[in-house]
Amino acid sequence: MKRLLAVGFGGMVGSLLRAGVYAIVPSSMVLWMVNLFGSLLIGWMAARFSHKSAEFRLFLSTGLIGSFTTFSAFSADWFHLLEASFWQGIAFAAAMTAASIMAAAAGLALGRKWGVR
């Protein structure tokens, strides 16, 4: 039950943070900003907080960062691009996926190198 509450509370905080970013940054690039920053953070947090409790890690990863980043908005944008141009949609999906993985890897490396435990 504690783990479920940790995810739920983290999800509430993360979705509010994302809504705040969307309100402050009225740009088509906000989806990229949120997803890449969230990917960087989840990599950093994985390295930095690996020794913390499962509840704390679930709060941060599944809850906070999982709701801050937005796969549903990515999917919606992808489908719109696919309707306009198949190749543009494929390029968008490949670029977002590759950039997010690279950001998570960079966050993991930074967390391992400069993480204070």
- H helices of the chain, in order, are 2-24, 30-48, 54-58, 66-68, 71-84, 86-114
**pLDDT for 43:** 95
C-alpha distances (whole Å) from 35 to each of 90, 95, 107 are: 18, 12, 13
Q: Where are the domains of the chain?
A: 2-114
CA–CA distance, 100 with 40 (Å, rounded to integer): 8
69 is an annotated ligand-binding site residue: yes
- Given a cut of 60, whether residue 116 has pLDDT beyond it is no
66 is an annotated ligand-binding site residue: yes
- Interval 41-57: pLDDT, tens: 999 999 999 889 999 99
**pLDDT for 72:** 82
**pLDDT for 50:** 87
- Interval 65-103: pLDDT, tens: 999 998 888 888 888 888 999 999 999 999 999 999 999
- Interval 6-21: pLDDT, tens: 999 999 999 999 999 9
**pLDDT for 115:** 63
Q: 23: number of CA atoms within 13 Å, CB side?
A: 6
